[in-house]
Amino acid sequence: MITFASFVPHSPILIPEVGKENLKKLKDTIQAYKNLEHDLYASKPDLVILISPHANSQEGEFFTINQQPKLRADFKDFGDLVTKLEFDNDIGLGYQIKESCEDYFPIMLTSNKQLDYGSGVPLLYLMEHLPNTKIISIGYADLPYGDHIKFGELIRKQINLADKRVAIVASGDLSHKLHKDSPAGYSPRAQELDQTIIKLLNNNQVDDIVNIDRKLVKEAGECGLRSLLILLGIIKELNYQPEKLSYQAPFGIGYLVENFKVK
Ligand SMILES: [Zn+2]
């Protein structure tokens, strides 16, 4: 049973020890994260399925599911030596998902003790009151968008068989090229991509998101779209109400927090 679904950003600046003064510029995003944390806790999940653009470190033409029994996250790479997170992995359901997908597209089991920051940042914000909830860490693929929807549908089937309360968290940032001082450079089409995704999401036009012009996606530079597509595949048949909680881009990268209120 799916009890919660959300799409969240993973800027390292959101890590208090890293962002420091800059946290103020992400006030709306942080408030949205707090609202989500509340909803997630209230949904009483047995398990959180976490999809991150940076979980598949090879960025290969295959999906990944991490099978390491203990999953840890820290932010040493960003200079935060203090914050440490650890969760148990639901390796059983992760394995079931992998088995059910093998006939459709390449999928690999991985064994990374250390989670990527695209997983770590959402866990830091969302799991404060759920330290004993298990997680499954999934990475997307360099494969067509339609495969990501299909992957989501297959995940949902396994969730339905599992008799567990499952929350879905899709991690990802939108365009990386919104300002002249964006780290990835500026694209005049960056706004177009972010506004298109937000509009289609909130109008529930899932098929149109799958068919977004790939040239536009490439030009605008993002990492979140395929995480989002897997999530949309998972919740496709459910009755849900998308709600934009925040959208900010103070550093030239689009940070969207979206809650898909599952009814
Ligand atoms: Zn990213």
Structural domain of 55 = 2-262
What confidence tens digit (pLDDT) does each residue in 185-228 have? 999 999 999 999 999 999 999 999 999 999 999 999 999 999 99
* Ligand 1 centroid, distance to 118 Cα (angstroms): 6
Task: Provide the pLDDT for residue 63.
Answer: 98
* Ligand 1 centroid, distance to 53 Cα (angstroms): 6
Distance CA 113, CA 116 (A): 10
What confidence tens digit (pLDDT) does each residue in 124-135 have? 999 999 999 999
What secondary structure does DSSP assign to 173-232, as a single string? ---S-SSTT-TT---TTHHHHHHHHHHHHHTT-HHHHHTS-HHHHHHH--SSHHHHHHHH
CATH number, domain with residue 66: 3.40.830.10
* Ligand 1 centroid, distance to 163 Cα (angstroms): 32
* Ligand 1 centroid, distance to 52 Cα (angstroms): 8
* Tally of domains within the chain: 1
Has this prediction a pTM greater than 0.75? yes
